Structure 1
Amino acid sequence: MNYYLKGLCFALIVAACTLGFSTVASAYENPIILPNEWKWDTGVYYGSGDPYILKHNGVYYMYVSTVDDKSGIKVWSSNNLVDWTYEGLSTTDPVTKAAYAPEVVYWNGYFYMYTSPGGNGHYVLRSTSPTGPFKVKTGNIGHTIDGHVFIDDDGQWYFYNASDAGIVSHPMTDPYTIGKGTTTGSYMGGWTEGATLLKRNGLYYMTYTGNHVWNRGYRVNYSTSGSPLTNFLPSSENPILINTEGPIHGTGHNSMIIGPDLDTYYMVYHSQADPGRHFNLDKVVWNGKKMEVLGPTSSVQPDPDMPAFSGDFSNRDEKKWSNIEISNLTSKEKQNHNPHNRWEGMVTKNFTETNFSAEFNLLQLTTDEKGHPPDRVRNPGYGVVFAYQDNANYGVALINKNNHRLQTQFVVNGEKQGWESTSLPDDYDYNVLHNIRVKKDGKQFKIFIDDMLKQTRNADLDGGKIGYIDRNTNASFGYTAFSNKVNGSGAWDTPKPVPGTIEAVHYMSGGEGVGYHDKTNENIGGMYRNGAVDIRLNPEGGYNVGWNQTGEWLKYKVNVAEAGTYDVDLRVATTFEDAKIRIWSGSQNLTGVVDVPNTGGWNDWKTFTVKNLPLEAGVQQLKVEIVKGEYDFKSMAFTKSAPVPTTTHDFNDGNDDGWKRYEGDISVENGKYRIGGNYAKVLTGEDSWSDYTIETDIVMKDSGVKSGILLRSTNPADGSHLGNFKHFNQGYFAYITTNGVYLGKENYGWNYLTGVATSEPLELNKTYHMKVVVNGTNIKVYLDDMNRPLIDYDDNSTVPFTHGKAGVRTSNGTAVFDNYKIYSD
C-alpha cells in the first residue's frame, strides 16, 4: 500500500502538488481579481469571462474565455475557490484563438476540453493533466457556442449548446462524437446560452443565461427535469441571479462547483467590467427541490468553509492517521484457509459526526509491492472505509478488478449486512486516479465513483473515522477529506447575505436553546431536519416551519452588507386573528411586537412587511420570536429601506432631470413628457422605496398604445440594447388602453394580473388622470375618480414585489405624461 502517491507528482496524475495549503483570509469580496487576466494587444482589460471550474484530487482549476486577438487557454488553481495561482497556458494551439467558454471534464485518466474558438464550431482537446498541455483531438465538430458536457450516473455522456430556441441537448457516443440535438425547454425568450447541468437527489437542474452578454439584463435562470435531455420546466423563482445596476451587473454565464466542505454548491459567474468581465462567486442553498443563489453579492462574504479534515499524503503525519487491520470482511473459514484475506489500512484519528460527506482519491498501480501484476495476485482488492468505530462497526467500498465491480459491505455490531455489487464502466482503468465520495444522512449512505451515484444503502451506523484499506494490492491514495455537512446542511450556519432572502428552515444548528426553542419533543412534520422544530412540505415548493406556538423562537445567522434601516418581508400562513411576531438581534428588540395577518388558511400564503429594522453591518444572529398565536413561516426577505420624498415633475423646464431612460423615443416637448415606440420606459427614485402613491396625467396618442405607471421597479435594463426584448424589468405596470384599465407584472417576462373594461371606450388625445396606491402587497388603481379604485388587487404570489422605483411606460404607440407626483402618507 502506497499512501503517499509520490506526492501525486507523476505524469498520470498531475494535481499541482506544489500548490500546498496556504493560510487564507477569512473573507472575500466580489469581483475576485485573478492574477494574469487576459488583456487585448492594446492593453485594454478583457478579464475572465465564462468562468468554468473543475475539481481534481482536492485542487480547483479554472478556465476562462480567451481574448479575441490571442491563442491559448489560461488556467488557474486554488484550494479554497478564493485565492488563485496562475498556472500558465494550458494550450497554445493556434486553433484556440478567441477560445470561447472552455470547459474541462475528467474521465478515466484524461482531461477533455471543449471550446468554441470565435464561436465557430467546437473542438475537443485532451491532456493527462488539468494544467495541460492540451492537444487538439478533433476537427471542427460544429454546434453553436458554450458547449457543456454532463456525465450521468450510468456513464452516459451528454453535450449541451446555445441556440435561439433555448438550450439544445445531445447524447454522446464517446468524448468526441455528438448525436442529434433536442430542445430542452430551458429558454429565455430568445438567444439562450451558458448551460450547466447537475443532478441532485435524482432531479436534473439546468442553469442557463441570456440574452446578450453585454446587456445589463444578462442573468441566470434555472429549470428542472426528470431527464437530462428534455422536458425542463423553468422555476417560478426565475431569475435566480440578476443585477442590472451597481458594481456587480450583467451577471451570467455560470458554472457550478461543490466547495471545499464537500457539500456546499457555489455559482461561479462573470459580471461586466466595462470593459471586459470579472469573475464572481456566490453560495447556493437548497430548500427541498428549490435552489437559491445567495447573491449576487458585492460586499465582504465569508470564505468558503474548508473540510473538517483533509490530507493529501504529500507528508505522512502520524498525528492524523492510525493503522488498522480488518479480518471479518470474509468468513472465519476463509480466513483460516487463506491469511491473505486480511485487509490492512490506515484511518484518520479524527471522527466524523453522525452525518458527513467524505472524499477519497485512489488508484491501483500496475504491480503489487512485490512486483507481481494484479491479475497474478490472489484475492487483490483496495478501497475506502468510512463510519469506522472499530472492527465491529464500519462500512467499506471496494474496487474489485477481477469482477470489474464496486462492492460495498456494512458491519454493524459485528454482523455483516451483506455485499452489494455494482458494475463499473466498461472502460474503467484501474491504473489512473478515480474519486470516491460517500455521503451519509441519517441511516442512508450514498456511494459515488467519479461523481456518478452507484449505490444507495441503509445501515444503522453512526459517524466514525475514514480511510483506506487494501489486500494484496499496491494501491495508492491521494487527497482525502471529510466534512460534517451533507445534503446542503451548510445553509443552516452560513451567514445569509442581507439584503437577501432567508428560508425559514435554514435556522442555525445547535439544537434546543441554541438554534431554536421549541415546545415539542420532536419534529411533528417529520421532514427536512432532525430536532424538535416542526417542518412540513410547502405547497409553493420546498419546506416551511409549521405548528409554531407562543414563546418559541428560531435563530438565523446573517451577514449585513452595510449598517442602516431595513424592511423585512415575512411569508406566513395562519387562521389566527391574534398571532404576533418579534425580531431580535442579540438583546436588541428590532421590531417590537408586530401583528401577523390572518391569511385565511394554513395553505393560503401571504407576504407582509415589517419596516424600519435598524441593523449593524457584519455577521450577527437574528432571532424570530413567536410572541403569540400560531402561524406557519416560510421565508423572510430583507431590503434596504428609505423614506419616499414628495416629488413633483411638471416638465415645464424642458428637461427630465432625475429620470433615467431605458428604451423608446423619449422627449420633453412643450412642458410634456412624450414617450413612444414599440416599448419604452423611464424610471425615477430608489430601489429602497416601499409604499407610495403615484399620480399623473396621461394622453394616449395612438389607438394601440398601452400607457401608464411603473411601480416597485427593480433591475431595469434596456431590452433594445443588442436585442429586441420587452419586459426587461421587475415590477408592476398599471396602464390604460382605449378599452379600459389594467394591471400586469414584469419579471423579465409578462404576467397579466387583472383589469376592468370601462363602460365607454377611452378616447385618444384626451387627458386622463391616473392614481396608483401601493401598500404592502395591495395595489389600487384609480382613473379620474380619485375616490373609487377600479382595481383593488393583492399580489399573494410567491414573488410579490414590495420595493422599487417609480416611472412610466408605453408600448405599441405613443402617450404624453404630465403632472407626475410621488408621495407617501
Structure 2
Amino acid sequence: MRKLRWLFLLTFTFSLMTSVPTTSSAYQNPRSLPDEWEQYGLGDPYVLKFNGYYYLYVSTRDTDDGVKVWSSRDMVNWSYRGLAASDPITHGAYAPEVIYWNGMFYMYTSPAGKGHYILSSTSPTGPFNVVTGNLGKTIDGHVFIDDDGSLSFYHAGQGRIDAAPMSSPTSIGASSTTGVGMGGWTEGATVFKRNGKYYMTYTGNHVFSKGYRVDYAVSTTGPRSGYVADSLNPALISTEGQTVGLGHNTVVLGPNLDTHYMIYHNLEGPGVIGPLRHLNMDRIVWNNDKMIVQGPTTTPQPDPEMPAFYDYFDRTTIGSRWANVNGGNWGIYNQQLMWQNTLGSTTWYKQVTSLASQSDYTAEFNMKEMQRGTSASPRYGATFSYTDENNYGVAMLSSKNNRLATFFRINGVDQACQTFDLPAGFDYSKWHTIRIEKAGSTFKYYVDGMHKGTRTANLGAGKIGELTEDTHADFGFVAFSNDVNGSSAWEAYKPIPGTIEAVHYMKGGEGTAYHDTTANNIGGAYRTDAADIRLNSEGLFNLGWNQTGEWYKYKVNVESSGYYDIDFRMATTMSGVQIRVWDGTTDLTGIIDVPSTGDWDNWRIVSKKGVYLKAGQRELRVEFVNGEADFSRMTFQKNAAVTPMSEHFNDGNDDGWTRFEGTWAVENGEYSSGSSGPAKSTIGDARWADYTVESDIKMIDSGGDGGMLVRVSNPSHGTERGQNNYDAFQGYYAYLTTSGVNLGKMSYSWTLLKGSAQSYSTNTWYHMKVVVSGNNIKVYVDDMAAPKIDYTDNSLNPFTHGKVGVRTANKHTHFDNFSVSP
C-alpha cells in the first residue's frame, strides 16, 4: 500500500517564507479590562455566548457585593456592563457561572466558598435575583447540558471533581465523584461535548501556587463518569517567566463558530485583599480527539477570526445583504432583529444571504416564535446550502409538535422530512439557537447546543437564510463560517515555540497549500483534498505516502527572532531518508538524516538543533524530495547553548540553585537534603537540550530515594499551602535506592520508565552520570562505560529540553562534585 516507498530517498524541505503581512489586529496575554476589581483583577473567568455576544463573569472581590459582567462581539474588545447581580448574598462571590436555558439565565456562585446559591434573570447582564437557598456543595459550580436536555452540576471535591444530576436548573441532586482529580486540591471544572465525547477541563493546586495548572480528561460513557485523564497533561502550565499560576479556565467557541478557546487567569501575586489575577486566552486545536492548547502565549497573537458572514441586524432596514424569496412581510425591529409576521399561509417565506458559503461550513441561527398560525404545520427556522428553489436544506422548529423538522430539496425532488424531538416544556417564545455543521455530505443539527440529529444529502455550497411557515418569528444574530469540526486550525497562525500537527497544513488547494502526486487521499481520513492522511496507532492523523516533489505549507507565528530546535515525529521503514529546512532560497539546516524506525507505526523523534527563525507571521513549506516517511507533528523549542558548570559546594552556599520542597543545606562542602517528603533543587536553563550531568551521591537513610533531575521544566513547590504533590515538575528523575537504580518521568504525575536491580549501601559515595541526547537517556552508576539504564522515550510527549537538578523523596541524601557538560 505504500506509494512507491521502495523507489525514493526522502528529503523534506521546510521553506520558511518571508514574513507575511497581515491587516488583522492582535491581542496579548495577560489582559486587564476597564472597571475590573481593583487590586483583585479578573479571577476565575467564565464566558457565556448568547445570540452572537459573549458575556464575561469573574469572581467578586472578597470585600464587595455584586457580580460584574462585560460583553463583547469578538472576545477581544470588552465593554463593562455593570453589576449583573447586587444582592448581598453575592458578597465575595466565587467563580460565578451563567447558563441559558429555555428563556432564562441562571447564575451559580459560591459566596466566599460557603455553599452555592442560584440566581436567575431574563437578561445575561441582569439583574439576577436569588431564587434558591444555600444548596451546599464546595466551590466552583459548573453546569453542563447534554444532548437530551439533562443537566449536571460539577463542583470541587477533596482532590477531585464531584458531580450531581439536576432535575431542573434550580435543583441539584446528591453528588458523587467523577473519578477526575489531581490528587491535591482540584477545582474549576468545565465540561463540553465534541463528536460524541465528553471533555472535562479542571484545575489543580493552590490558587497562590505557580504550579496552578489545567488538565483534561475524556469520557465516552457519560457526563459524570468514565473519564480518563489524557496522557499529554498538563494541558496548560507555566511556572516560570512572564505568566505563572495558570488555571480556572472556561472553554468557549470563538466568533468564527468553529475554534474553541481556553479562557483562564494567571497569578500576578497577592493583591491587597486576595490574589491578583488577569485574563488570558489561547486557541485550542484538535487532532482526532486530542485537545491541544496552543499556549500559554505571552506575545501578540492574531485576534479570533470573525465569521465569513454575520449579521446582528443593528440597522433600520434589511438592506442588500439579503434577498427575499416567496414574499412575506419582513422588517427590522429596534436595530437588533429581523422579523416576518405574515400568518395564514403555508408558503415558505425566506430571506437568504447575498453571500454563499463554501462546500463545508458551520452556520448559526437565533430565533423565537412570536405567534403561531392555525395551519397543520406552522414552523420557523433556517435554510442552508441554498442555491435556488430546487436545491436547499431546511431546519425548522415546530412548537405545535415540539420538535425539529429537517428537509432537503435536491434537483427539484423533495427528500423525506425527518424530525427530532425536543425536551418537554420547550418554550418557543424564547430565544433558541439552531446550529448546522456541514462536512462533505453530512449535516449535523444542534438546538441550543444539543446535538439532535445527523443526516446526509448531496448538497454543496450555498447561501443561508431564515424562513417561516404560517408563523410570526423574530430572528437574531445569524452567521456562517467556512470551517467545520476544527478546520479553522489549518489557516490559523500557530505559535512558535509550540507543536504543529502535520495535517494542519494551510487551506487553498493543490498548488497553493500543498502539492500531492495522487488525485485522491489514499488514507481517506480527516481532510477531503488529495493529501494522503491516515489515522495512526497513536490516535492521531498523520501525513503518509509522501513522494518526491510533494509539499505542504503551514502558517506560524514566531515569538521572537532567534535559534530554535525542531523535533520532527516520523515513521519509516526506509534507509537513507533525509529532511531539510529552507527559508525562501536559504538552506537553514542542511541535510537531516532520518533513520529507519522499523515500522510505519513506530514513531520516533528526529531533531535539528539551532535553526534560526525570524519573528512574526510566516509560512513554512514542507517539501518531500526523496524517499518516504510518514510525518505526524513537529515541535519548536527555543535553543540555548549548554553552559559547562561544576559545583563542589566548597564555598558553603548553593548560589544559582533554586530550592523547592524539602530542607536543603550545604554541610561540610556537600549539598544535603534531609526531608520526610519530596525535595528538589534545580539549576541551569530550560532551553538546554543535550548534555551530560554527573554527581556523587551518598544515601544516608535506608528508605526513600535520591538522585538527579534532567530536562526539568515548569518546576513548582509541590508541598506549599497544604498541597502534597511529589511530582511538581516536568522532566526525568534518575535515582538510587538501596535495591537499585531507576528512571522515572514526571509531568505533575509519575511514571516509572525503567529500573535495574542493584545493591547500594547507605553512607557510601556513588558516582552517577546521566546523558541525554534527543529523546534517549542513559544512566551510569560508578561504571562510566556501561549504562545501567538505556531508555528512549518514544511517547507523544518526550521532554527534550530543560534544566538539571537534584532530588530526594523521603530520604536524607548528600550530593557533591556536581557538573554539567554539553
Give the TM-score of the pair, scaled to structure 2.
0.93
Map 1:561-640 to 2 at 5 A: 561-640=559-638
Question: CA–CA distance in 1 between the matches of 2:631 and 2:814?
Answer: 45
1:582 and 1:626 in contact (8 A); partners too = no
1:304 alignment partner in structure 2 = 304
One-letter amino acid of the structure 2 residue matched with residue 273 of structure 1? E
1:535 alignment partner in structure 2 = 533
1:324 alignment partner in structure 2 = 325
Deviation, structure 1 residue 407: 0.7
2:331 alignment partner in structure 1 = none
2:657 alignment partner in structure 1 = 659
1:715 alignment partner in structure 2 = 714
Per-residue Cα deviation, 1:299-324 (whole angstroms, up to 9, x for no partner) = 11000000111112221342211111
Deviation, structure 1 residue 72: 0.4
1:446 alignment partner in structure 2 = 444
1:182 alignment partner in structure 2 = 176
1:29 alignment partner in structure 2 = 28
1:573 and 1:632 in contact (8 A); partners too = yes
1:686 alignment partner in structure 2 = 685
Instruction: Give the alignment partner of residue 96 of structure 2, picking from 87, 102, 118.
Output: 102
Question: CA–CA distance in 1 between the matches of 2:397 and 2:795?
Answer: 51
Give the superposed CA RMSD: 1.5
- Does 2:349 align with 1:344? yes
SS, match of residue 743 in structure 2:
strand
Question: CA–CA distance in 1 between the matches of 2:391 and 2:698?
Answer: 80
1:345 and 1:468 in contact (8 A); partners too = yes
Question: CA–CA distance in 2 between the matches of 1:627 and 1:814?
Answer: 56
One-letter amino acid of the structure 1 residue matched with residue 226 of structure 2? N
Deviation, structure 1 residue 377: 5.9
Q: Using a 3 Å threshold, how does the CA distance of structure 1 residues 740 and 404 change in structure 2: closer, same or farther?
A: closer
Instruction: Give the alignment partner of residue 111 of structure 1, picking from 101, 105, 119.
Output: 105
2:228 alignment partner in structure 1 = 233
Deviation, structure 1 residue 173: 0.5
Per-residue Cα deviation, 1:543-598 (whole angstroms, up to 9, x for no partner) = 11111123322211110111100001111111111111112233332222211121
One-letter amino acid of the structure 2 residue matched with residue 170 of structure 1? A
SS, match of residue 479 in structure 1:
strand
One-letter amino acid of the structure 2 residue matched with residue 458 of structure 1? T
- Does 2:698 align with 1:699? yes
1:739 alignment partner in structure 2 = 739
2:429 alignment partner in structure 1 = 431
Instruction: Give the alignment partner of residue 476 of structure 1, picking from 453, 474, 477.
Output: 474
Q: Using a 3 Å threshold, how does the CA distance of structure 1 residues 648 and 383 change in structure 2: closer, same or farther?
A: same
2:549 alignment partner in structure 1 = 551
Deviation, structure 1 residue 121: 0.8
One-letter amino acid of the structure 2 residue matched with residue 324 of structure 1? V
Question: CA–CA distance in 2 between the matches of 1:741 and 1:378?
Answer: 79
Map 1:268-307 to 2 at 5 A: 268-275=263-270, 276-307=276-307
One-letter amino acid of the structure 1 residue matched with residue 704 of structure 2? V
One-letter amino acid of the structure 2 residue matched with residue 72 of structure 1? G
- Does 2:791 align with 1:793? yes
SS, match of residue 37 in structure 1:
coil
1:700 and 1:816 in contact (8 A); partners too = yes
SS, match of residue 601 in structure 2:
coil
Instruction: Give the alignment partner of residue 362 of structure 2, picking from 357, 361, 379.
Output: 357
SS, match of residue 95 in structure 1:
helix
1:783 alignment partner in structure 2 = 781
2:7 alignment partner in structure 1 = none
Deviation, structure 1 residue 375: 5.4
2:706 and 2:737 in contact (8 A); partners too = yes
Deviation, structure 1 residue 343: 1.5
SS, match of residue 490 in structure 1:
helix
SS, match of residue 474 in structure 1:
strand
One-letter amino acid of the structure 2 residue matched with residue 208 of structure 1? Y
Bigger shift: 393-402 or 277-286?
393-402
- Does 2:813 align with 1:815? yes
Higher relative contact order (CA 8 A, sep 6+): 2
2:190 and 2:201 in contact (8 A); partners too = yes
Per-residue Cα deviation, 1:182-232 (whole angstroms, up to 9, x for no partner) = 211211112211111111111111111102111111111111112112010
Deviation, structure 1 residue 705: 3.5
Question: CA–CA distance in 2 between the matches of 1:424 and 1:433?
Answer: 14
Question: CA–CA distance in 2 between the matches of 1:609 and 1:453?
Answer: 43
2:284 and 2:291 in contact (8 A); partners too = yes
Per-residue Cα deviation, 1:109-147 (whole angstroms, up to 9, x for no partner) = 110000011111100000000000000000001111111
One-letter amino acid of the structure 1 residue matched with residue 178 of structure 2? T
2:346 and 2:375 in contact (8 A); partners too = no
2:486 alignment partner in structure 1 = 488
Question: CA–CA distance in 1 between the matches of 2:700 and 2:508?
Answer: 64
- Gaps of at least 5 residues in structure 1 are 1-23, 40-44, 328-337, 368-373
Question: CA–CA distance in 2 between the matches of 1:447 and 1:61?
Answer: 25
Deviation, structure 1 residue 243: 0.6
Deviation, structure 1 residue 626: 2.1
1:334 alignment partner in structure 2 = none
1:375 and 1:402 in contact (8 A); partners too = no
SS, match of residue 341 in structure 1:
coil
Question: CA–CA distance in 2 between the matches of 1:428 and 1:794?
Answer: 57
1:576 and 1:598 in contact (8 A); partners too = yes
SS, match of residue 345 in structure 2:
helix
1:201 alignment partner in structure 2 = 195
1:14 alignment partner in structure 2 = none
Deviation, structure 1 residue 426: 1.5
Per-residue Cα deviation, 1:790-823 (whole angstroms, up to 9, x for no partner) = 1111111121110000111111111111111101
Corresponding residue pairs, total: 777
Deviation, structure 1 residue 742: 1.3
Deviation, structure 1 residue 378: 6.6
One-letter amino acid of the structure 1 residue matched with residue 744 of structure 2? G
1:15 alignment partner in structure 2 = none
- Gaps of at least 5 residues in structure 2 are 1-22, 271-275, 329-342
1:18 alignment partner in structure 2 = none
One-letter amino acid of the structure 1 residue matched with residue 363 of structure 2? A
Question: CA–CA distance in 2 between the matches of 1:325 and 1:280?
Answer: 48
Per-residue Cα deviation, 1:598-618 (whole angstroms, up to 9, x for no partner) = 111111111121111110011
One-letter amino acid of the structure 2 residue matched with residue 179 of structure 1? G
Question: CA–CA distance in 2 between the matches of 1:635 and 1:566?
Answer: 16
One-letter amino acid of the structure 2 residue matched with residue 299 of structure 1? T
2:804 alignment partner in structure 1 = 806
2:344 and 2:374 in contact (8 A); partners too = no
Question: CA–CA distance in 1 between the matches of 2:534 and 2:470?
Answer: 51
1:705 and 1:815 in contact (8 A); partners too = no
1:579 and 1:627 in contact (8 A); partners too = no
Question: CA–CA distance in 1 between the matches of 2:595 and 2:528?
Answer: 29
SS, match of residue 475 in structure 1:
strand
Bigger shift: 510-519 or 119-128?
510-519
2:718 and 2:726 in contact (8 A); partners too = yes
Give the TM-score of the pair, scaled to structure 1.
0.93
One-letter amino acid of the structure 2 residue matched with residue 346 of structure 1? Q
1:91 alignment partner in structure 2 = 85
Question: CA–CA distance in 2 between the matches of 1:229 and 1:757?
Answer: 42
Deviation, structure 1 residue 339: 8.9
Deviation, structure 1 residue 738: 1.4
Question: CA–CA distance in 1 between the matches of 2:377 and 2:735?
Answer: 78
Question: CA–CA distance in 2 between the matches of 1:671 and 1:379?
Answer: 89
2:24 and 2:302 in contact (8 A); partners too = no
Deviation, structure 1 residue 511: 1.5
2:699 and 2:813 in contact (8 A); partners too = yes
Per-residue Cα deviation, 1:361-390 (whole angstroms, up to 9, x for no partner) = 11111x4xxxxxx35467532211111100
Deviation, structure 1 residue 341: 2.1
Question: CA–CA distance in 2 between the matches of 1:557 and 1:590?
Answer: 18
Question: CA–CA distance in 2 between the matches of 1:740 and 1:407?
Answer: 68
1:111 and 1:130 in contact (8 A); partners too = yes
SS, match of residue 125 in structure 2:
coil
Question: CA–CA distance in 2 between the matches of 1:793 and 1:629?
Answer: 28
SS, match of residue 663 in structure 2:
strand
